Structure 1
Amino acid sequence: RAWLPRPPRGRYRPEDPSLAVYERDWWKWWATLQPQWRVESPGRSNRFLRETYPALSPDNWNPLRVPGQNGMLSVVAALYWWGLKNSAVGEREDKESWSEAVADVKWMV
């Protein structure tokens, strides 16, 4: 989890793992944040179906209701860094995975 250590404020840049490692780790991390009602996509580890939302009970969203730097801000920052690296060195498949991650986060928000 290169994007979660406690750096000096405003000066942190994540370690520079390979794009494949960053992508794999991001999806694993994102999977840990998902509510229990999310259904994993068959044959695609750490990927989830985007079909229907559950009833709008606050309990259904608790895993993602984390304020501050350890909440959605970290998710967006991690996607930003991944996107920067993708634009510099990514192949088509890498960009598709990033686009899928952005779409999944957008769907959950």
Structure 2
Amino acid sequence: AKRRPHQVKDWVSRARKYVPIIEDADAFGRIWWEWWTDISPPWRKSTKPMGRNSGGDWTVLDIAGPNGFLNVLACLKWWFDKDASSSGWAEAVDDVTWAL
């Protein structure tokens, strides 16, 4: 995805044996939210908090393989490790949990 945090590329390119450095938790959070919005179904993108109509089409999040949904979860972990009290982290976890 275009807006994927660069830390994901760094992590994947090193066979996931590397913990990316998050310099600024709030900045990382903003980038993560842009990416999450970008990869989410179109019907969820109009507002924040994102729509929660479970009857919509979810196929855009059916991401398999080495660059799949695990990347979303890994980002949440890195963000938490840097600063769990960072703006938007709890909302991000809640939204991903709901989407799953």
TM-score range, shorter chain: 0.7 to 0.9
Say whether 1:36 aligns with 2:45.
no
Give 1:17's aligned residue: 23
The code of the aligned residue for 2:41 comes to P
Residue-pair matches, total: 94
Give 1:69's aligned residue: 66
- CA distance in 1 between counterparts of 2:22 and 2:43 reads 33
User: Which structure's CA Rg is the greater one?
Assistant: 1
CA drift of 1:39 comes to 4.7
CA drift of 1:10 comes to 3.7
Kept after mapping to 1: 8 A contact 2:28/2:79: yes
- CA distance in 2 between counterparts of 1:39 and 1:54 reads 15
- CA distance in 2 between counterparts of 1:4 and 1:11 reads 12
Say whether 1:102 aligns with 2:90.
no
Say whether 1:79 aligns with 2:76.
yes
CA drift of 1:98 comes to 0.7
Kept after mapping to 2: 8 A contact 1:40/1:49: yes
Distance 1:39 1:27, change over 3 A: closer
The code of the aligned residue for 1:11 comes to K
The code of the aligned residue for 1:54 comes to G
- CA distance in 2 between counterparts of 1:66 and 1:97 reads 24
RMSD (Å) for aligned C-alpha atoms: 1.9
CA drift of 1:19 comes to 1.2
